[in-house]
Each structure stands twice: as C-alpha cells, then as structure tokens.
Amino acid sequence: MADIPPFLSSLRTPGWRRAVFLRRVLAAVLLLAALGLALRDAGAGAPRALVFARPVTAGEALTRDDVALVPVPDPLLPASAVRDPVDVEGRILAVEAAAGEVVTASRFIGTDLSDAFVGEITTIVPVRLAEPEILPLLRHGDSVTILAAVPERTETDVISTGGRVILADTRDSPGTLLLGLPEEEAHAVAAASLSTPLAVVLSSPLPK
C-alpha cells in the first residue's frame, strides 16, 4: 500500500491541525464568494453605455446591431457617452471605430453636416488621399472632382465630378475625408480607393 503523505494523513486524523486547515479552507471559500458578489454588484450598479459591437468605418450609417449596451465603470465613461441605441440609429460615423470602444456623440456627423444630402447626393464615402496635406484647404460644402492615377501612365482618370465635402478632419493622421456623392459614383470612388490613393481637385462650393 502506498504511503500517505503526512499532509493528507493529518487531515484524516481529528485534531488541531485538521481544524485549522478546515477553518482556512472555509475562510478562503467565503472570501472568494464575497469577491464574486462584490464584482457582480459592481457590474450591476455601474452605468450602462453603448459600445461598438464591430469595427465600423468612417461614413457608415449605424444600425442597432452595430452597438451593444454594457456596464461601463464610472472612471472609464466619457461625459459624451451615448446610452440609448435609438440615439445612434441612422447616424453617420465621422471617424472609424474599433469594436469595444465606447460610443460618444463626437463620433458622428452633426445635423448641420448631414444637411448636405441634397439632390442626387445620397451617399457618403470615405476617401484615402494621395496627398493628405490638402485636407486643411477643404471646407464643408466644397465641390470637388475625384481623380485616380493610372499605373504606367502619366495622366489621371476622372472618377467622379461634383462630389461634395461632408467632413475634412485633420485631428488624426492621415486625416479623414468624407465626400457626399450620388450612389453610383460613390461605389466607383470606393472601389478605386481600395487599390490606389485618390486626389481631389477643388472647384467651388455648391449653392446652399
């Protein structure tokens, strides 16, 4: 018969050692239970706010499926955090967001910018510029022509004309440019932007 370790042997024998060990085990179990209850209560008492449920790119209009309502500890909750999914439905994202980030009001295009949807301009598309240095020169409402460089050729192709600047944001490098375009032209610009950075030529502001 295999020898029983002294530690286990002392537990089988009534006495002071076993009583001390059992008290310590009971204390540890009670401590873990108390910690679990405290964490549960902390989560239940924490304010709830919206977070992005998936990565979202600039120019996308949010749906309720794009966000989730979760408890967020007070120290991590921005003052402009959004708490109601109704408040983000249909709103257009001004800058890209990662999954898990808290949704804040500053992430979205304001109503003054969304008023740019006039006539055939029905779609917003983010544009990756070959020369982001032009961003500070662009203003909301400016009319631009979008160009793409053609590989192995010196000239450029015109992808779209009459695009309208919705947002030219230089806060984060390399910046964000959102253009309002007719739906078909927006698709062409988005497809071209996947393969090459684009250029824009400023013409004149569209009449308001």
CB 59 within 8 A of CB 116: no
- Domains of the chain: total: 3
Strand ranges for the chain from DSSP E? 48-52, 67-71, 123-127, 142-149, 156-169, 176-181, 198-205
Are residues 153 and 180 located together in one domain of the fold? yes
| Segments of the chain with pLDDT less than 50 | 1, 41, 206-208
Are residues 158 and 199 located together in one domain of the fold? yes
pLDDT at 101: 87
Q: Is residue 155 part of a domain?
A: yes
CB 26 within 8 A of CB 32: no
Domain span including residue 190: 111-203
Q: Is residue 208 part of a domain?
A: no
Are residues 117 and 195 located together in one domain of the fold? yes
**End position of a domain, from candidates 107, 126, 158:** 107
Measured in residues, the chain has a length of 208
Are residues 133 and 64 located together in one domain of the fold? no
Are residues 170 and 191 located together in one domain of the fold? yes
Are residues 95 and 170 located together in one domain of the fold? no
**End position of a domain, from candidates 59, 75, 107:** 107
Q: What pairs with residue 200 in β-bridges?
A: 146
pLDDT in tens, 116-135: 555 666 678 888 888 888 88
CATH number for position 58: 3.90.1210.10
Considering the entire predicted model, what is its pTM? 0.52
Q: Is residue 1 part of a domain?
A: no
CB 77 within 8 A of CB 42: no
Q: Is residue 148 part of a domain?
A: yes
pLDDT at 128: 81
Are residues 118 and 197 located together in one domain of the fold? yes
Are residues 165 and 100 located together in one domain of the fold? no
Give the C-alpha separation, 130 to 180, whole Å. 19
pLDDT at 133: 85
Q: Is residue 85 part of a domain?
A: yes
Q: Is residue 122 part of a domain?
A: yes
pLDDT at 208: 47
Are residues 17 and 88 located together in one domain of the fold? no
Give the C-alpha separation, 131 to 199, whole Å. 7
